[in-house]
Amino acid sequence: MKNYDKIQTFKCDKEMKDFLLDLKKNKVNVSKFIRDSIEKNKPIKKTDNRKKVTMAELKQKLNQIF
């Protein structure tokens, strides 16, 4: 189980507030619901899969050109 030590705050409009209060009345863990929603809708972080060039390879390429 993850322990969350940071407190996150946000503002919501009346419609969202009513929805969250309704969830709370129905015994839904609102904090977990919000965390899961954010995690699900978080943009995917793209990684750079290109090969890292070493100094030896760069020197070899330069020697080929000249």
Residue at 51 is within a domain: no
Residue at 36 is within a domain: yes
Q: How confident is the model at residue 56 (pLDDT cuts 50, 70, 90)?
A: very high
Residue at 6 is within a domain: no
The residues, any chain, with a CB within 8 Å of residue 4's CB and separated by 6 or more, are 35
Residue at 31 is within a domain: yes
The residues, any chain, with a CB within 8 Å of residue 12's CB and separated by 6 or more, are 20
Residue at 52 is within a domain: no
Residue at 37 is within a domain: yes
Q: How confident is the model at residue 49 (pLDDT cuts 50, 70, 90)?
A: confident
Residue 1 has pLDDT above 70, yes or no: no
What string of DSSP letters covers 1-66? -----SPP-----HHHHHHHHHHHHTT--HHHHHHHHHHHHSPPPP---SPPPPHHHHHHHHHHH-
| Residue 31: domain span | 11-43
Number of domains observed in the structure of the chain: 1
Q: Regarding predicted confidence, which is higher, 65 or 7?
A: 65
Q: How confident is the model at residue 2 (pLDDT cuts 50, 70, 90)?
A: low
Residue at 24 is within a domain: yes
Residue at 56 is within a domain: no
Task: Give me the percent of the chain exceeding a pLDDT of 70.
Answer: 92
Cα 48 to Cα 58: distance, rounded to the nearest angstrom: 20
